[in-house]
Every structure is written in structure tokens, then in C-alpha cells.
């Protein structure tokens, strides 16, 4: 078959073209395969950019050639990976990203940090799978253990006005402080502005809305002190 300008198109008719495709299934399969790979890669890169922004909140630092941007990208790549090597690499990356990240820190897969510049973590801290730390100043002392899916939220919306939607009213980051040697159970939520005193234990599923005095065991929604560890230590009856 010739084109209107006279050049050969490489097949005699449309059915001939279809037949020739049928004779070359492996080429078709290859083409479909590589196109799918390209589409998936594009999707992954787009989603990486989206998650980077969501995770670190520095849209101007997207560019992977920017050194902090490269660290964010590495963090994103390492985020879902289990195993000792990934743990070590995540720790290294965190040391570059966070305001402070002490030695012997364990950051399990799926940990999300809104703004590493506002996060200070002491030595030998462990943060469980899928935990999230908000963007206000967050200070975590030495030897803190956080189980899976702990949320530390630092941002409160203002909602005084009724004439405009809450989303259009301002908000405020309030610092969260977790002093040393605190153990936080699975799925605990810590609200903005809370300080948890040293040596305290927060029961699974609790929502901490108020400061917790040191060496307390607190649990529930909202979290209430159920006993004091120091009273137990002194041989006194629990509070
Ligand atoms: C808080 C916890 C440590 C138990 O502490 P404890 O001092 O031994 O407390 P007790 O089991 O004696 O319970 C005392 C009271 O608190 C309640 N309580 C205990 N844990 C609670 C929780 N997570 N939420 C709400 N109430 C809780 C108990 O029901 C009990 O109430 P009651 O006196 O009305 O019966 C434990 O319940 C817990 O939540 N552990 C966290 C587990 C976890 O997340 N592990 C992750 C591994 S890193």
C-alpha cells in the first residue's frame, strides 16, 4: 500500500497490517510491557513528589539535586522497607533531616514526619511502624519507646468565628514535649501542646489531651492517670 505521496507504508491493506501484528505477538507484548513500565514509573515519580510534599512540607525543595531534597527523596524510598540495613540508612538520613536525631534511634517503616526541622529526638528512641509526627516543635527525650501507629499532632485550627468556615480561620502549632524514658502504647494520639513527664506510660489507644505528670501510668480517652509508678516504687499503694 502506498501513501498519497507515493511512499510505501510497509503493508498492503488494513487487514494485512492486522495480520502482520498477529505474526509478531512477542513484539506487541514487549511494547505493551515497556509502555506499562514507563507509565508506572511516571505514576511512582508523581506520587513520590506528592508524598514528599505531604511528608516534609517544603515544596520549594522538591528538586532532588538540592541536598535536603535528596535526603527527602532517600527517606521516601527507604520509608516502607523493613530490615536492619534500611533501619540504619533511615537513621543516617534522619540525622540530616531532623533538627536533632540522637544515636541508636530506631525509625520503623512507615514513619511520617511533617517537618524534620521542627523535630528533635534524643538517644535510643524507637518510633513504631506507621507513626506520624506533626510539624510543630516536637521534642522527644532519650530512651522514649513509641509503639505502632502513634500520632503526635501539633496543629489546632481556630474555630471561634461562625461566619466563615473553619478552613478559612487561622491555626496554630503548639509544641509537644515527651520527656525521657516514656513508653507510649499502640495507637495513642497526643494532642497539640501536651507535655508527657519522664518515666510515664501511656496505655494503648489513649488520647492525651492534658499534661501527664512524671512517672504516671495514664490511659483512656481522654487519658487519665490510673496510677503513679513512683508510689509503686516506694512500696506505697497505687494512687
Ligand atoms: C496501661 C497498661 C500498660 C497497663 O497498665 P497497668 O498499670 O498494669 O494497668 P491495669 O492493667 O492494672 O489496669 C488499670 C485500669 O486501667 C484500665 N486500662 C488499662 N489499660 C488501658 C487502656 N489502654 N485504655 C483504657 N483503660 C485502660 C484497666 O481497664 C483498669 O481499669 P479498672 O481498674 O476499671 O479495671 C496496658 O493496659 C497497656 O495499655 N499497654 C500498652 C500495650 C502496647 O501498646 N504495647 C505496644 C508494645 S511496644
Best residue among 128, 185, 202 to mutate for probing ligand 1, ranked by most atoms within 8 Å of CB = 185
Which one of the listed residues 51, 72, 91, 157 is annotated catalytic? Answer: 157
- Ligand 1 touching residue 227 (CB < 6 A): yes
How many CB atoms neighbour CB 171 within 10 A? Answer: 13
- The bridge status of strand 224-228 relative to strand 189-190 is unpaired
Task: Identify which of 39, 41, 71 has the alpha carbon closest to the alpha carbon of residue 55.
Answer: 71
| Average pLDDT of the segment spanning 71-89 | 90
Is the shortest distance between the CB of 231 and ligand 1 below 6 Å? no
How many domains does the chain contain in total?
A: 2
* Residue 153: cis peptide before it, omega within 30 degrees of 0: no
Question: Of 106, 188, 190, 226, which is best to mutate to test ligand 1, by the most ligand atoms within 8 angstroms of its C-beta?
Answer: 226
Q: Which three cell numbers stand for residue 46?
A: 508523581
How far from each other are the two terminal CA atoms of the chain, in whole angstroms? 94
CATH of the domain at 204: 2.160.10.10
Same domain, 116 and 200: yes
pLDDT of 163 strictly over 70:
yes
pLDDT of residue 88: 93
Other Cβ atoms less than 10 A from the Cβ of 221: the count is 11
Closest by Cα among 61, 55, 57 to 75: 55
pLDDT confidence of residue 44: 76
Q: Are residues 117 and 224 in the same domain?
A: yes
Of 15 and 3, which is predicted with more confidence? 15
Residue 210 in domain? yes
Asked whether residue 213 falls in the same domain as residue 128, the answer is yes
Residues 131, 70 share a domain: no
Contacts with 203 (C-beta within 8 Å, 6 or more apart), sequence order:
185, 188, 217, 218, 219, 220, 223, 226
Considering only CA atoms, which of 192, 175, 189 is closest in space to residue 202?
Answer: 189
Orientation of helix 25-56 relative to helix 14-23, angle to 10°? 80
Ligand 1 in reach of 39 Cβ (< 6 A): no
Atom 27, ligand 1: which residue's CA is nearest? 219
- The per-residue pLDDT for range 42-64, each reduced to its tens digit, is 777 766 766 665 555 544 444 44
Q: Are residues 103 and 214 in the same domain?
A: yes
Shortest-distance atom of ligand 1 to CA 202: 1
Percentage of residues in the chain with pLDDT exceeding 90? 60
Provide the residue range defining the domain that includes 72: 24-78
| Same domain flag for 107 and 187 | yes
What is the mean pLDDT of the segment spanning 28-38? Answer: 85
Mean per-residue pLDDT for 1-15?
A: 57
Cell of 224: 487519665
Structure confidence by residue, pLDDT tens digits, 86-99: 999 999 999 989 99
User: Please, what is the average pLDDT of the chain?
Assistant: 85
Quick check: is 90 in a domain?
A: no
157 is catalytic: yes
**Domain contains 6:** no
Shared-domain flag, residues 134 and 45: no
Spatial neighbors of 129 by CB under 8 A, at least 6 apart, are 108, 109, 110, 111, 148, 149
Alpha-carbon distance 17 to 70, whole Å?
A: 48
Does the residue 1 lie in any domain? no
What separation in Å is there between the alpha carbon of 237 and the centre of ligand 1? Answer: 17
Tell whether 183 is covered by a domain: yes
How many residues does this entry show for the chain?
Answer: 239
Q: Given pLDDT bands bounded at 50, 70 and 90, which one contains residue 65?
A: very low
Q: Whole-prediction pTM value?
A: 0.76
Amino acid at each position: 500500500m502506498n501513501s498519497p505521496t507515493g511512499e510505501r507504508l510497509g503493508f498492503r491493506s488494513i487487514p494485512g497490517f492486522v495480520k502482520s501484528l498477529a505474526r509478531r505477538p512477542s513484539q506487541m507484548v514487549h511494547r505493551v510491557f515497556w509502555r506499562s513500565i514507563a507509565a508506572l514509573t511516571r505514576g511512582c515519580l508523581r506520587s513520590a513528589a506528592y508524598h514528599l510534599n505531604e511528608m516534609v512540607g517544603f515544596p520549594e525543595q522538591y528538586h532532588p539535586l538540592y541536598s535536603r531534597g535528596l535526603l527527602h527523596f532517600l527517606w521516601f524510598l527507604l520509608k516502607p522497607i523493613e530490615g536492619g540495613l534500611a533501619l540504619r540508612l533511615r537513621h543516617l538520613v534522619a540525622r540530616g533531616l531532623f533538627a536533632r536525631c540522637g544515636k541508636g534511634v530506631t525509625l520503623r517503616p512507615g514513619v511520617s514526619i511533617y517537618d524534620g526541622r521542627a523535630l528533635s529526638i534524643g538517644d535510643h528512641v524507637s518510633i513504631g511502624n506507621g507513626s506520624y509526627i506533626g510539624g510543630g516543635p516536637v521534642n522527644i527525650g532519650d530512651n522514649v519507646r513509641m509503639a505502632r501507629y502513634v500520632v503526635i499532632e501539633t496543629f489546632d485550627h481556630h474555630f471561634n468565628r461562625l461566619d466563615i468556615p473553619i478552613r478559612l480561620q487561622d491555626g496554630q502549632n503548639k509544641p509537644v514535649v515527651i520527656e525521657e524514658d516514656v513508653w507510649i502504647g499502640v495507637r495513642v494520639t497526643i494532642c497539640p501542646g501536651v507535655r508527657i513527664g519522664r518515666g510515664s506510660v501511656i496505655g494503648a489507644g489513649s488520647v492525651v489531651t492534658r499534661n501527664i505528670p512524671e512517672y504516671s501510668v495514664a490511659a483512656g480517652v481522654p487519658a487519665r492517670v490510673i496510677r503513679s509508678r513512683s508510689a509503686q516504687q516506694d512500696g506505697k499503694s497505687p494512687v
